[in-house]
């Protein structure tokens, strides 16, 4: 029964869709129709599903290799469990394209990641089969324990199954969840989908020791021996046994990322996410070769050069050496890069440890994923004023990956933190100089830059430090000031030209630093133009524009607003009363501030 899907050698007819007329897949509108088929048909379903995934990938690209590896597992789970009454929860969502196909979204997948198409990840609002949304790694067991507890409380006869990859299992929260599960003993089934890969090959002592049984059993979980995830017979048997078990149980399934498509099997890392490609040769369809370099590649190149001249520089990635460009850095400086796994919390505190001993660690982490390490940035880096450098790639709106992947909160949460410098370059040349500023300085320093192609400006021959907290006026005008940060500076410059055509003269400022903000320059510009538009690819609430407002509110005003609160410093231990007085928020201080405001007559 397992047939060709077990070997990964798809027939040419399946691969190229020559026999599409007779496809069973057409008849599978939902998992219930799948469950009405005899088990002997499942091998063919697997072939067809795999062929369709390859067709889809060749046309629209995307996360592809992970889904090829879970074809049989997806079919088996929906066949053995009564979904969606039984709750099936996937981690991350990279591996869930097949799940989407079997749950009524086959046609829609041609428009995946487009605004009128399905998400590339899992979304509760998209289907009752997407039991819990995903996008970040390692959340499935936590959600599954919660769902299993709630189902049990209701006395409902539903099973709950989660599928977590070995990559996602390196995330600390998956350990927290498994440890809780081992104590709670909720009726949760965990499928450990072990393909030896995160996006890159899996890292960590657990992957290296191959002692998964010891790991799960040490947490009090029943563990069933690993099964070949491409052998449908064995897999169905194992899943039926899993279904029959009562308490918390783990089934170890071994899969091959990219299974069934030879180029992806040979290089599952390179095929994790792909551009559209030609099926026969596996040749990727590239964009124009004269396109500007990506922000990522400029970052990687600049870091490599800074590391050449400064032996203190080391680089850290949380399981994304390719996405962050550090694969390139690794080739040049193989002993100076650390891949810590999907472990942003550890990445940041590990970096703080390195910095405490005089190194200059650069944590290259996507903006949305660095959210995982907010506490560590506060507690381990900034509070101790250690010179850790954060390179936040994929900041701002990222397009097709959607809301789980937008990096639209970083300026807000970072600019609250004392001691930290927060900057965003307007182009790739500024990016390399900001990186030099961070490396040659001795402060914690965050640089955020977006996904995609940089503007394409010429690079100065050498990255060199810029003055911290200094903005740059790119164009002077009288009627309005456009104060922009990062990638939005380019849009602001174009806007100024559009305004000129309408007879409106605009100043354009590249703020460059969100913290410290160039308050002097802003006050001067505000006094001159009297109208300011701030622009950021970030949440407006609490973001860059609010920092500008905060600065101007103390200088100018119609309504005069004075804000009292804890200043931009870490407050040491002591009596709360003293701390309130120091912050100026006790009754006496409030009265004093208010009286000055009234007496000052600074009201416009």
**Site membership for a second copy, residue 532 (CB under 8 A):** yes
Query: Of the listed 52, 72, 265, 344, which one is catalytic?
Result: 344
Segment 190 to 229, residues that bind a second copy, using CB under 8 A = 203-209, 211-212, 214-215, 217-221
Closest approach, Cβ 202 to a second copy, in A, equals: 10
Q: Is residue 191 within 8 Å of 162, Cβ to Cβ?
A: yes
Give the span between the Cα atoms of 476 and 60, in whole angstroms: 44
Residue with smaller CB distance to a second copy, 232 or 342:
342
Q: How many residues bind a second copy (CB under 8 A)?
A: 182
Report residue 137 as tokens: 């790694």
Contacting residues for 3 by C-beta, under 8 A, at least 6 apart:
43, 44, 46, 47, 232
**Site membership for a second copy, residue 420 (CB under 8 A):** no
Segment 494 to 513, residues that bind a second copy, using CB under 8 A = 494-496, 498-499, 502, 504, 506
Q: Is 21 a catalytic residue?
A: no
Closest approach, Cβ 31 to a second copy, in A, equals: 20
Closest approach, Cβ 168 to a second copy, in A, equals: 12
Query: Of the listed 189, 257, 305, 426, which one is catalytic?
Result: 257
**Site membership for a second copy, residue 568 (CB under 8 A):** yes
Closest approach, Cβ 237 to a second copy, in A, equals: 26
Secondary structure of residue 466 in the 3-state scheme: coil
Contacting residues for 201 by C-beta, under 8 A, at least 6 apart:
269
Segment 147 to 176, residues that bind a second copy, using CB under 8 A = 147-151, 153-154, 170-176
Residue with smaller CB distance to a second copy, 29 or 205:
205
Distance of CA 421 to the CA centre of its chain: 22
Give the span between the Cα atoms of 517 and 424, in whole angstroms: 12
Strands 421-423 and 445-450 come out as parallel
> Token match 């410093």: residue?
569
Closest approach, Cβ 259 to a second copy, in A, equals: 25
Q: Is residue 83 within 8 Å of 269, Cβ to Cβ?
A: no
Segment 428 to 487, residues that bind a second copy, using CB under 8 A = 451-452, 479-480, 482
Q: Is 581 a catalytic residue?
A: no
Closest approach, Cβ 303 to a second copy, in A, equals: 18
Q: How large is the C-alpha radius of gyration of the chain? A: 27
Secondary structure of residue 138 in the 3-state scheme: coil
**Burial degree of 119 (CB within 10 A; 0-12, 13-18, 19+):** buried
Site pattern 262..291 for a second copy (x: CB under 8 A): ------------------------------
**Site membership for a second copy, residue 297 (CB under 8 A):** no
Q: Which of 304, 380, 427, 518 binds a second copy (CB under 8 A)?
A: 380
- Per CB under 8 A, the segment of 22-30, 189-197, 398-406, 456-464 that binds a second copy is 398-406
Q: Which of 412, 425, 444, 463 binds a second copy (CB under 8 A)?
A: 412
Q: Is 113 a catalytic residue?
A: no
**Site membership for a second copy, residue 340 (CB under 8 A):** yes
Q: Which of 372, 426, 433, 448 binds a second copy (CB under 8 A)?
A: 372
Cβ-based neighbour number of residue 188 at 10 Å: 29
Give the span between the Cα atoms of 485 and 357, in whole angstroms: 33
Closest approach, Cβ 262 to a second copy, in A, equals: 30
Q: Which of 7, 13, 27, 603 binds a second copy (CB under 8 A)?
A: 603
Find residue 197's DSSP bridge partners.
201
Residue with smaller CB distance to a second copy, 5 or 83:
83
Segment 84 to 143, residues that bind a second copy, using CB under 8 A = 113-115, 119-120, 124, 131-133, 135-136, 139, 142-143
Q: Is residue 424 within 8 Å of 486, Cβ to Cβ?
A: yes
Find residue 278's DSSP bridge partners.
none
**Site membership for a second copy, residue 561 (CB under 8 A):** yes
Give the span between the Cα atoms of 130 and 122, in whole angstroms: 6
Report residue 42 as tokens: 């499942």
- DSSP letter for each residue of 404-461: TT-B-SHHHHHHTSTT-EEE--SSHHHHHHHHHHHHHS-S-EEEEEESSB---PPPPS
Query: Of the listed 23, 123, 305, 372, which one is catalytic?
Result: 372
Closest approach, Cβ 246 to a second copy, in A, equals: 16
Catalytic (active-site) positions: 257, 344, 372
């Amino acid at each position: 029964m397992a047939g060709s899907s077990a070997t990964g050698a798809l027939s040419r007819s399946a691969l190229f869709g020559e026999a599409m007329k007779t496809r069973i897949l057409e008849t599978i509108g939902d998992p219930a129709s799948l469950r009405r088929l005899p088990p002997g048909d499942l091998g063919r379903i697997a072939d067809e599903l795999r062929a369709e995934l390859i067709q889809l990938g060749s046309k629209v690209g995307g996360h592809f290799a992970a889904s090829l590896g879970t074809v049989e597992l997806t079919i088996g789970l929906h066949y053995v469990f009564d979904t969606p009454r039984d709750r099936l929860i996937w981690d991350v969502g990279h591996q869930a394209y097949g799940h989407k196909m079997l749950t009524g979204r086959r046609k829609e997948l041609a428009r995946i990641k487009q605004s009128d198409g399905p998400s590339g990840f899992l979304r509760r609002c998209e289907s009752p089969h997407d039991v819990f949304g995903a996008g970040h790694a390692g959340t499935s067991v936590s959600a599954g324990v919660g769902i299993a507890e709630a189902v049990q409380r209701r006395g409902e006869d539903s099973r709950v199954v989660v599928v977590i990859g070995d990559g996602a299992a390196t995330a600390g929260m998956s350990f927290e969840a498994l440890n809780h599960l081992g104590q709670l003993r909720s009726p949760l089934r965990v499928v450990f989908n072990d393909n030896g890969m995160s996006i890159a090959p899996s890292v960590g002592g657990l992957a290296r020791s191959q002692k998964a049984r010891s790991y799960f059993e040490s947490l009090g979980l029943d563990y069933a021996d690993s099964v070949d995830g491409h052998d449908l017979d064995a897999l169905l048997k194992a899943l039926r046994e899993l279904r029959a078990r009562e308490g918390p149980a783990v089934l170890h399934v071994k899969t091959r990322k990219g299974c069934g498509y030879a180029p992806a099997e040979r290089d599952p890392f390179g095929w994790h996410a792909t551009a559209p490609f030609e099926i026969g040769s596996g040749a990727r369809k590239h964009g124009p070769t004269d396109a500007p370099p990506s922000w990522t590649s400029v970052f990687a190149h600049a870091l490599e050069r800074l590391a050449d001249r400064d032996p203190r520089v080391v680089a850290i990635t949380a399981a994304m050496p390719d996405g962050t460009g550090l694969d390139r850095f690794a080739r040049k400086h193989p002993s100076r890069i650390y891949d810590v796994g999907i472990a942003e919390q550890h990445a940041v505190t590990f970096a703080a440890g390195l910095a405490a001993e005089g190194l200059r660690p650069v944590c290259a982490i996507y903006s949305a994923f660095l959210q995982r390490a907010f506490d560590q940035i506060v507690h381990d880096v900034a509070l101790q004023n250690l010179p850790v450098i954060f390179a936040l790639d994929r900041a701002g709106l990222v397009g097709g990956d959607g809301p789980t992947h937008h990096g639209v909160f970083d300026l807000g949460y970072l600019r609250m933190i004392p001691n930290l410098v927060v900057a965003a370059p307007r182009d790739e040349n500024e990016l390399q100089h900001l990186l030099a500023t961070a490396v040659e300085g001795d402060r914690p320093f965050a640089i955020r830059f977006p996904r995609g192609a940089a503007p394409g400006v010429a690079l100065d021959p050498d990255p060199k430090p810029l003055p911290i907290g200094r903005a740059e006026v790119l164009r002077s005008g009288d009627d309005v000031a456009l104060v922009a940060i990062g990638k939005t500076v380019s849009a602001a410059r174009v806007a100024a030209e559009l305004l000129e055509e309408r007879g409106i003269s605009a100043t354009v400022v590249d703020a460059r630093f969100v913290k410290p903000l160039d308050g002097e320059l802003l006050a001067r510009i505000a006094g001159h133009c009297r109208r300011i538009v701030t622009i950021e690819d970030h949440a407006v609430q609490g973001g860059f524009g609010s920092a500008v407002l905060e600065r101007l509110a103390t200088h100018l005003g119609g309504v005069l607003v004075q804000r009292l609160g804890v200043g931009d410093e870490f407050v040491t231990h002591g009596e709360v009363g003293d701390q309130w007085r120091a912050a100026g928020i006790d009754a006496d201080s409030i009265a004093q501030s208010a009286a000055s405001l009234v007496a000052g007559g600074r009201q416009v």
